């Protein structure tokens, strides 16, 4: 009986997915229209659809096997506005509904896109991907001259759960960015990112990288950001390890 009930529930979900997919067929066709304005409007529609919490069909639509198969090629549209809307659509759908295997690969290919707004959107929507392959692109971008806006989003890529190897490689690159001609807000974002790279495995490397006694401005800023953004237990640990008290 329980087995039959499980089969019925599965059939119901599959039916709802198919209905949701059929409902969007016209929009899916319009996404590849020769009319540039129609493609822009349709891509914007899908972006809103993916992010709109009030639409009961979106979960079914973004679980249908063919949905991603059809949407992903739209990332190659010549219009950056269409591409950005589709990055938002696919990034949101991947993070919320279904981790389609093709989405990561397709979005990673956009790290080489010539349009800066496309690159920015890609960084925003891939920063939660639990795949360290993206860091080879992040490191490459950090080595190049970047705008303040881009440095902010690049700094946001690093988290406390990253591997030791990623954290250690990030530290000198982030320090180099810190010493560039940037404003105070961007500098603080970089220092916060450096703070997230610190743990028992990476602190020795960090201490060898910078003399906190000599770099007083950096030292005070690091301490300020730790006190503002870290939980008390981690504050106590970092203050002791970095400053010895």
147, 175: one domain: yes
Contact 35, 77 (CB under 8 A): no
pLDDT at 9: 53
Torsion (CA) 184, 187, 192, 194 in degrees, nearest 10: -160
Q: Could you say which of 129, 149, 172 is where a domain stops? A: 129
Of 67, 98, 129, which closes a domain?
129
109 and 143 part of one domain: no
Looking at the fold, whether 116 and 164 belong to one and the same domain comes out as: no
Same domain, 165 and 97: no
Highest mean pLDDT: which of 15-24, 65-74, 77-86? Answer: 77-86
Kindly report, residue by residue over 94-117, the tens digit of the pLDDT. 998 888 889 999 999 999 999 999
Distance CA 50, CA 207 (A): 44
Q: What is the pLDDT confidence band of residue 6, given thresholds at 50, 70 and 90?
A: very low
From 71, 94, 129, the end of a domain falls on: 129
CATH number at residue 92: 1.25.10.10
C-beta neighbour count of 192 within 10 angstroms: 20
The whole-angstrom separation of Cα 211 and Cα 40 is: 51
Which pLDDT score is estimated for 61? 79
Model pTM score: 0.85
Number of domains the chain is built from: 2
**CB-CB contact of 78 with 34 (8 Å):** no
Indicate the DSSP class of residue 35: -
**Statement to judge: residues 142 and 125 lie in one domain:** no
Q: Check residue 189 and give its pLDDT.
A: 97
The answer to whether residues 230 and 201 belong to one domain is yes
What distances in angstroms separate CA 102 from CA 24, 47, 50, 99, 108, one per listed residue?
20, 18, 17, 9, 10
Q: Are 106 and 187 part of one and the same domain?
A: no
Whether residue 154 sits in one domain with residue 237? yes
Do 4 and 75 sit in the same domain of this protein? yes
Average pLDDT rounded to a whole number, residues 136-144: 95
Looking at the fold, whether 117 and 154 belong to one and the same domain comes out as no
Specify whether 59 is located in the same domain as 147.
no
pLDDT tens, 184-219?
Answer: 999 999 999 999 999 999 999 999 999 999 999 999
Residues of the domain holding 188: 138-245
12 and 96: one domain? Answer: yes
């Amino acid at each position: 009986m329980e087995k039959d009930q499980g089969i019925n529930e599965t059939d119901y979900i599959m039916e709802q997915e198919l209905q949701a997919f059929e409902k969007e067929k016209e929009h899916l066709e319009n996404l590849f229209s020769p009319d540039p304005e129609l493609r822009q409007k349709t891509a914007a529609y899908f972006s809103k659809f993916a992010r709109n919490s009030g639409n009961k069909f979106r979960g079914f639509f973004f679980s249908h096997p063919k949905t991603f198969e059809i949407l992903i090629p739209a990332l190659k549209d010549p219009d950056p506005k269409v591409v950005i809307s589709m990055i938002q659509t696919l990034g949101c759908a991947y993070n919320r509904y279904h981790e389609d295997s093709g989405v990561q690969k397709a979005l990673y290919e956009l790290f080489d896109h010539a349009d800066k707004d496309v690159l920015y959107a890609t960084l925003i929507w891939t920063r939660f991907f639990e795949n360290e392959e993206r860091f080879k692109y992040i490191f490459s971008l950090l080595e190049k001259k970047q705008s303040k806006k881009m440095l902010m989003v690049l700094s946001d890529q690093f988290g406390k759960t990253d591997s030791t190897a990623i954290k250690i490689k990030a530290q000198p690159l982030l320090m180099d960015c810190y010493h560039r001609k940037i404003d105070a807000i961007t500098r603080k974002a970089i220092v916060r990112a450096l703070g997230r790279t610190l743990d028992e495995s990476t602190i020795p490397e960090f201490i060898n990288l910078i003399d906190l006694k000599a770099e007083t401005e950096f030292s005070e800023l690091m301490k300020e950001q730790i006190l503002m953004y870290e939980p008390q237990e981690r504050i106590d640990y970092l203050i002791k390890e970095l400053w010895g008290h």
